[in-house]
Structure 1
Amino acid sequence: MTRGVVAYSSTAGSGLATPILDTPASVSVVTANEIARRGARTAEEVLRYATGVTTDFYGGDDRFDYYKLRGFDASVYRDGLPMQKAFGGIREDAFAYERVEIVKGGNSTVNGPSEPGGIVNYATKLPRAERFGEAYVGGGSFGRAEAGVDFGDILTPDAALAYRLTARVQKSDKELDHSRDDATLVMGGLTWRPTDRTRLSVVADYLDRDGSTGSGWPTGTNFARDVFFGEPDFNYVDNTRRAVSVLLDHDFGNGLAFNAKARHQSEDRGFGYVYIWDADGVSPADRYYFANAATAEQTVADATLQYDATFGGIASRTLVGLQYSDVESDSTSWYTTAVPADYTGPVYAGGIDLDRLAPYARTIGDDRVASVYLQQELTVSDRLIASVGLRHDRMDLSRTALDGTRTTADFSKTTRSVGLTYKITPDLSAYASYAESVLPAALTVEPEEGRQVEAGVKYRPAGLDALFTAAVYDLRKTNITRNDASTNPPIPRTIGEIRACGIELEARAELPGDLSVIAAYAYADTEITDRLSSNRGNSLGNVPRHLASVWLDYTWAGQGARGDMTFGIGARYKGTAFGGDDNTAKSEAAVLIDAAYGYDVTDDTRLAVNVTNLLDEKHREAASGAITYNPGREIGVTLRRTW
C-alpha cells in the first residue's frame, strides 16, 4: 500500500508489474492517501487532479460517472478485468478501492476491446496479513450523513487466512431541490496463503445507489442551482450491483508464475429523467420524460502464465494469456412529452406510469469475447527496454430489438503494440510507443479502431519521493460509426476518422518540509473528419483544449498537547469546450478552488474538513437545448479512528 501521493509501479500499463519509469505509456495513479487527503468520494472527484482527464461536464446529472481520457469516453476495469464504459455504467464508490490507475491511450493488446482514449482501473481493497482498521462518521452540505468501516485481521495462528470487511452508508440530498444521493456499500473478502508462493482471494460486494437526476435550466436564464425544473415524483436513479471476484497467484519458481482472476456480477439499473429542452429560449420551456430500465449479467475470466529469464545480458519477461467475457443485457427506454415549465416558477405535474406507456426502444444483448494475447519485454544492459504486444479477439455479438428482430455479428480482430524505453540514467527514461485499439460500435459495420503514436520522458529523482512525467501523442480513431440520414430508415455506416493530438504533464512529489504537491497540465486538440457529416472540421464535444490543476498539502508537526495539522489547497482550471460535435453550444472557462484541513486529535483519531469549489464559482457547462451548471460548493467533516 502506497503511504503518500506517489506510486512507482502499475500492472495496468502493460499487464506486467512494471515500474512506471519503465512503462512506455502515460500512467497516473491516484493513491488511497491522496483520496483521503482530498476527501474524494466519487470517481469524478478521485480523477479531478490527474492529467488528461476531463470530469464534471454534466453538472448535477448523477446517472453515470462522467469523465473522458484524451477526448474519448474511458473504458472501465476492476483488478484488470473489463467492466463497462464510464458513460452508461453504475457510479463507483471510492471507498471500495485501494487506488485508481489511469492509463492514457488505447492499447487493446493489454486491455482487449476498449476505447482509444485509455482506461481507468480500480484496485479492490484486499485482506492483509495483519490486524488493521478504520471507522469514521461524517456529515456535510445538503444534509449529508455517512458512516463507514474498513477493517481486517488474520484468522489462523500462521497468518495463512485473513479477512477484510469494508462498508459504508450515506444518506444525503444534493444542492438541487427534490434531490437525493443515498448509497450503501458492503464488501467482504478472504485471502488464503497456504504457502509463501500461493495466494487466493475471494471478494463479494454489494453496491446500491438511490439518487436523482437533474433537469437543466432554460436557456437565457440564470437561476440558482437549487431551482428544479424536473418532476419530484419522477427524477430518480436506482442502481444496484452484486459481484463476486476471485484472484489467484502462484509462483512455481525458476521464473514461472501463474495468475488467474474471474468475476461475476449482476446489475439492475434504472433512471427517470424529466429534462428541459428549450430550443427557442421562450417561456414556458419544453420538457420531456425519459426513462430507462436495464439489467446485466457479466462473467469474465482471465488466466496468464509469466516466465522471467535472463539470456546473457538480456532480461526477458514473457506473458501469455487467455480471457473470456460474456455479457447478457436487457435495456428498455421510454420517452414522451411533459407539461412545459414556466420560467417564473415550475408547477409540478407528477410522474407517469411506465407500465402504461409503450417503450420506444428495447435492446437485448449477448456479447461474448474470447481472447488470446502475448506481451514480451526485453531489457538490454538495464538500459534499453523493448516491449511487444499481440492480441487476437474473437467477438460474437447479438442484438434483439423491440420488434423482435435479431442481428448477429462475428468479428475477429488482431491488435498490436510496440514500445521502446531508454534509461538515460537509472532515474531518467525516455520512451516511444505505437498501440492499436478496437471496439465494436454497431453490428452491421466494422468495429471502430484506434491507432496511437506516443513519446515521453519520466524522471524519478534520486533521494526524493517524486515522479515527473511528460507525454506527447497523436491518436486517430477510424471506422467511426454514424447513422446515414440519406437512407430511410437511417443505417449505420463507417465514415472518416477522429483525430486527437496533445501534450500531458504531471508531477507528484513528497517534498522536504512536510509538503506534498500534485500538479498537472494537458493540452488536447481534437478534430472530426467524417466525410458524410456536417460536423467535419469541428472539435469533439465536452473536451476542453486546456486543463490544469495543482494540489498542495502542508503538515505542521504537532508540539506538546497539539497534534499534527495538515492544510491542503487545490486549484483546477478547465478551458472552454463545446457541448456537442456540432460545436454550437460552448462552456465557459473557469478556475475552481478546493481546500482541506486535518487535525490529529490523538495518535489514532483525526478530524478532517474538506471543501470543494470553495468560492462557489458558478459557470455553464457545454449543454445544448438547456443550461447545465458545474457542481457548487460542498463542505464535508469527517472524524476517523484508525488502528
Structure 2
Amino acid sequence: MLLFKKLSFLAAILLFSQFANAQTGSIKGTVTDQETKEVIPGVNVGIENTTQGAATNAEGIFEITEVAPGNYTLVISAVGYAQKELMVSVNANQTTTADVALTKMYTELQEVEIIGRSEQSYETDVSYASTKVATRLKDVPQAISYVSKELIADKQAYRVNDVVENISGINQFSYYNDFTIRGFRSEQELINGKRVINLFGPQTLLANLERVEVIKGPASAVFGNASPGGTMNRVTKKPLADDRKAISFTTGSFNTLRSTLDFTGPLNEDKTLLYRLNVAYENSDSFRDLQQFNSLMIAPSISFLPTDKTRLNFDLVVTKYDGRLDRGQPIFGASAGTDLNSTPISFAIGAANDYHETDVVYGTLALNHEFTDNLSFNASYMRYGFQEDLLEHRTSNSFAVDSLGNEIPSLMGIRIGTRERERINDNVSTYFVWETNTGDVEHKIVAGYDFIQSIQPEGSAAAGSSSGAIYRTRDGGLAQYDPENPQNYYFGDNGNPVPNVPHFNLENPEYNLGFLSDYILQKRIYAPERYYTQGIYLQDQIKWNRLQLLLGVRQSFYTDVINYQQADESTELQQKFLPRLGVVYGITDQINLYGTYTESFQPQNPTDLQPENGGPFDPLEGQMIEFGAKGKFFQDRLSVNIAAYNINNKNKLVPVLGTDSLEQRGAEESKGIELDINGQVNRNLSLTANYAYNEAKITKSDDESLIGTIKENAPRHSGGFFANYAFYNNALNGLNINVGGNFVTERNTFEQTLQLPGYMVWDAGLSYKMNKVKVSFTLDNVFDKTHWVGGYSYVRLYPGTPRNYLMSVAYTF
C-alpha cells in the first residue's frame, strides 16, 4: 500500500511538471558576425532582469528553454563585440526564433588586454603590444607574426619551441629560449609586453598562453632595449565572462605524461569579477640521453570590472622545473673530418647525478581607466623572479690533446660546474591615451613613461673547473697543455697529460657519478648586480581617409650600476634617442600597403661587460626599413601579410671558440622577404602557412675572411604550414584531420668548417569530438627525418626530435 502511494505521488509530480512545461516556450537563434557573416561561438545571451540565459555553441547556436509566455529583452554580449539588445515575444508551446548579428568593437578592451578574446581560430585581429593601444594588425605599419592558442591546441604543442616553425623568419638557435629572428639571435623576451629574464635553460610552457607573437625588426621605440631582428611577446590567457572548463590528459613517446586544466568564468552574478585558472604538469623523458622534464605550472588570473570605465587585472604564474640542462650533441673534432653522424643524435655528455632546478614566479597588476570617452590612463607592474640550482658536467669547448699537443677527436674535454643564483626583474609602465580630431584628421596620442630594472641580489655563487686550464700541473695547479714544456705536467698510463676532469670518450661513453671533491675547482661569488632602464615616449596614430601615419619618438636611458651595494658604487649611463615612422595606405577595404623606419638599441648584458669575458663592449645599434602589404580575404576570415625589409646592425657579441670569452663583431646586414597566412579558408578548413627568404651577412669584421659570409644559424630559406580540416553535419561530424610540415635550408655555425644541413619534416594528426569529449592523436616527424634545429660548433649541436606520437583525451564542461 505504501509503495502504491509513493508511485502515485511520483506520477502526480511528473504529470504536473509536464503540464507546467507545456505552459512555457523557448528562444532559439544563431549569432553571427555582422561583417563576415560567420557564426560566433561563446556568446552570452541572457534575458534581462532574470537569471535565464545560454551561450552559443561551436555552431553559434543558443537556446533558452522553459521561458514563461511574455515579452522580454535579450541582452547579447561577447568580448570584442558591441553589446546588443533585442525585443522578443514568447508564446506557450512555441519556439521563438531570434537570430542576431553583432558588430566588432576593436576598441572595447582599450589599451590593456584585461579580459580574454572571443575569437576561436588561427587568426588574431588585434595587437596591443606593438603600439601600446588596441590596433588592428592590418593597420600596424610593421610585420607581426603569431600563433594562437587554437593552433597550439591542434598541434598538441607544449613548449614555445614547438610552434616557432609556424612563424615566418624565426628558427631555433638551440634547445633553450634561444632563437634566430630575421638572421639575428634573440636578445629579449616579453610577457604581456613586459621585460623578463632571458632564461638559458628550460623552455617556456604554453598552457597559459593566449598566443605567441613576434614583432619583427627593431621595437626599441616601444620597449627600449630590443633586438634588431625582432621581439617575441607571450600573451597570457585572461578571464572570460562565460563559464568554460577544460581538462586534458596526454601520453606518448619518451614516457610522456602531461595534464592541463583551464577553468574560467564569472565569480558573481553581474560578471564584474572574473577568474581564470591554468594548471599544467609534465613528467617525461627525451630521445636525448640523461634528459628528462618534470614541470609544474600554476597560473591564476583575476579581472575586476567595477564599472564600464575601469578594469583591473591580476596575473600570477608559478613554474617549477626539475631536469637537466642539455648542452647538445657533441661530435668528433674537426681533425677527424666533419661527420654529423659520428655520434648518435641521442648522444649527450654528463654525469648520472647532474641536475638543473629552476623556480620562476611572476605577478602582474594592470589597470585601465577611462576618464572620458577620449581620454584614458593605463598602468601596469610586473615582478619576475628566477631562481636556479645547477650541477652539470659539460664540454670545455675543446678536445683532448696527446703528449705532442695533437687533438684527439674522440675524447672531449669536460668541465664541471655548479651554480646557485637568483635574479629579479621589475617592470613599471604608465601612459595616457588621448583620442581627438583636427578637422577630418583623427589622432590617437600616447604619452608615457616606463621603468625596468634587473637585480641579482647578494648570495649567488658558483664553483667549477676552468674551460681553458684543464690539465694538472706538477705544482698542484691547472694550465693549458704546453707541448714545449711537458715536464710541468702529470701524464697518465696512456702517455697523455692528465686532465682535471676526466675526458669523455665519445666512442665508449660512461655515465658515472661526478663529485665536486674529485676535482680542483675555482670558486666564484657573483657580486650583486643592478641595471635599470627608463624611457619617456610620445606617439601619434594619425588617420585621414585611407591614409594612416604612425609617428613615435622615445628617449631611452640605460644605467648600469658599477660595484652595486659596495662602498665604491657608481653608475654608467648610456642613452639613445629612438624615432619610429610608419605609413599605412588602404588601397581597398581589404588590402593595406605600409612602410616603416625604426631603430634598435640594446646595451650588452652586464655579465658580458666584465674584463674576464673580454669586455667592456659597446651597445648594439641597428636600423630597419620595411615595406609590405596586409590583406583580409574570404570574408575577412583569412589574413595574408607580406613584408620586405633591410636591417643593419653593429657591435654584435660572438664567442671566441675554445674559450668562454666574447668578442665584438663590426657590422651585419639582413635583408629578405616574408609571407604569413593565418585563418580560415572556409568553415571547414583552418590554415597557417609561412615562408621567409633571408640573407644575413657579416659586413664588417676584424677577421676579413668572415666578411660576406652568412651569419650563424641564419638559413636563407625557411617555411612551414599547418592545415586542419573539420567535418560538420555529416557522418563524419566531429572528426578533424590535420597535416603540417616545415623546412629550413642549410645553416652556418660558429665553426667555419661546420655547416648544418637543411631538412623538411612532416607532421600529421586527427581528433574526434563527441559531445564534451575530444580524443586526439598526433604523429610528429612522420618520416623519421634526422635533422638539426641549431648548433654552435663540433661540441654543441642540437638535433631535432625523431618520429614520436602523442595521444590525449580532453573534457570540456
Deviation at residue 440 of structure 1 after TM alignment: 0.4
Q: Please name the residue that 1:618 is paired with.
A: 786
Question: Structure 1 CA distance, aligned partners of 2:504 and 2:661?
Answer: 35
For residues 172 and 48 of structure 1, what CA distance do their matches in structure 2 show?
22
For residues 588 and 149 of structure 2, the distance between their equivalents in structure 1, rounded to whole angstroms, comes to 30
* 1:285 alignment counterpart: 412
Which residue is 1:35 aligned to?
152
Instruction: Give the superposition deviation at 1:44.
Output: 1.0
Q: Who is 1:77 aligned against?
A: 190
**2:149 counterpart letter in structure 1:** A
**Separation in 1 of the partners of 2:558 and 2:665?**
22
Residue in 1 that maps onto 2:331: 218
* CA offsets 1:267-312 (integer angstroms, 9 cap, x no match): 1024444335564463333333344433101111101100111222
Residue aligning to 2:712: 541
Distance (whole Å) between structure 1 residues aligned to residue 661 and residue 802 of structure 2: 42
Distance 1:536 1:252 in 2: 56
After TM superposition, the structure 1 = structure 2 runs for residues 419-568 of structure 1, keeping only pairs within 5 Å, are 419-441=582-604, 444-461=616-633, 463-480=635-652, 496-512=666-682, 514-534=684-704, 535-557=706-728, 559=730, 563-568=733-738
SS at match of 1:359: strand
Provide the residue aligned with 1:574 in structure 2. Answer: 744
Distance 1:21 1:233 in 2: 52
SS in 2 for 1:44: helix
**Which residue number in structure 1 is paired with residue 394 of structure 2?**
275
Pairs within 5 Å for 1:369-388? 369-381=533-545, 383-388=546-551
Decide which moves more: 362-371 or 17-26. 362-371
Of the structure 1 ranges 43-52 and 359-368, higher mean CA displacement relative to structure 2 is found in: 359-368
Flag the 1:103–1:483 CA change in 2: closer, same or farther, 3 A. Answer: closer
Give the one of 567, 573, 586 matched to 1:410.
Answer: 573
Give the letter aligned to residue 116 of structure 1. P
Match among 572, 586, 593 for residue 755 of structure 2: 586
Deviation at 1:571, TM superposition (A): 1.1
State which of 634, 637, 641 in structure 1 corresponds to 2:807. Answer: 637
- Seen in structure 2, the aligned counterparts of structure 1 residues 483 and 127 have a Cα distance that, compared at 3 Å, is closer
Q: How does 1:200-279 map to 2 (within 5 A)?
A: 200-214=312-326, 215-219=328-332, 220=339, 221-234=341-354, 236-276=355-395, 277=397, 279=399
Task: Tell me the amino acid that sits aligned with residue 768 of structure 2.
Answer: Y
Matching of residue 94 in structure 1 with residue 94 in structure 2: no
CA–CA distance in structure 2, aligned partners of residues 245 and 565 of structure 1: 39
Change (3 A) 1:68 1:491: closer
Cα 1:513–1:163, aligned 2, differ >3 Å: closer, same or farther? Answer: closer
Report the Cα offset of residue 79 of structure 1.
Answer: 1.0
Instruction: Write the distance in 1 (CA, Å) between the matches of 2:317 and 2:679.
Output: 34
Separation in 2, partners of 1:52, 1:599: 33
Of 569-578 and 472-481, deviating more is 472-481
Q: 1:338 aligns with which of 498, 501, 510?
A: 501
Measure, in 1, the Cα distance between the counterparts of 2:752 and 2:746. Answer: 11
Q: Which stretch has the larger CA shift, 518-527 or 475-484?
A: 475-484
Q: Aligned in 2, Cα 1:15/1:189: closer, same or farther, shift over 3 Å?
A: same
Contact 1:339 1:349 in 2 (8 A): no
Instruction: Give the equivalent residue in structure 1 for 2:764.
Output: 595
Secondary structure, aligned partner of 1:21: helix
Give the direction of change, closer, same or farther, for the CA distance of 1:464–1:376 in structure 2 (3 Å limit): closer
TM-align CA RMSD: 2.7
CA distance in 2, matches of 1:363, 1:610: 48
1:23 aligns with 2:140: yes
Q: Deviations over 1:305-334 (max 9, x none)?
A: 001112221111000111011210266553
Normalised TM-score (structure 1)? 0.92
Shift, 1:240, TM fit: 0.8
Structure 2 unmatched runs, 5+: 1-116, 333-338, 400-406, 467-499, 610-615
CA distance in 2, matches of 1:404, 1:585: 48
Q: Does 1:294 align with 2:421?
A: yes
Count of aligned positions: 629
Cα deviation for residue 477 of structure 1 reads 1.0
Q: Does the 8 Å contact 1:518/1:550 carry over to 2?
A: yes
- CA pair 633-291 structure 1, distance change in 2 beyond 3 A: farther
- In the aligned structure 2, how far is the partner of 1:555 from the partner of 1:490? 52
Q: For residues 272 and 527 of structure 1, do their structure 2 counterparts lie closer, same or farther at Cα, with a shift above 3 Å needed?
A: farther
**Local SS of the residue matching 2:225:** coil
Identity over aligned pairs, percent: 21
Task: Work out which of the residue numbers 547, 553, 561 in structure 2 matches 1:390.
Answer: 553
> Quick check: 1:607 aligned with 2:775?
yes
Normalised by the size of structure 2, how large is the TM-score?
A: 0.73
The answer to which of 215-224 and 303-312 deviates more is 215-224
- Kindly tell me: are residues 405 and 273 of structure 1, through their superposed partners in 2, closer, same or farther at Cα, counting changes over 3 Å? farther
**DSSP-derived class of the 1:282 partner:** strand
1:405 positional shift: 9.2
Does the 8 Å CA contact 1:586/1:623 hold for their aligned counterparts?
no
Aligned 1:183-194 pairs, distance under 5 A: 183-194=295-306
Q: Which amino acid aligns with 1:612?
A: D
1:203-238 alpha-carbon deviations (Å, 9 max, x no partner): 11201111223352332444433344322212x321
| Cα distance change on mapping 1:464 and 1:302 into 2, 3 Å | closer
Mean Cα deviation higher: 352-361 or 150-159: 352-361
Pair 1:376–1:521, CA change in 2 (3 A): same
Structure 1 position 406, deviation (Å): 6.8
Distance 1:301 1:323 in 2: 5
- Name whichever structure is richer in strand by fraction: 1
In structure 1, stretches of 5+ residues that fail to align are: none
**CA distance 1:159–1:628, change in 2 (3 Å):** closer
> CA deviation digits over 1:481-512, x for unaligned, max 9?
57999xxx999886621111111111123112
User: What letter is aligned with 1:152?
Assistant: T
The amino acid of 2:371's aligned partner reads F
- The answer to whether the 8 A contact 1:464-1:511 is kept is no
Equivalents in 2 of 1:508, 1:345: separation in Å? 49
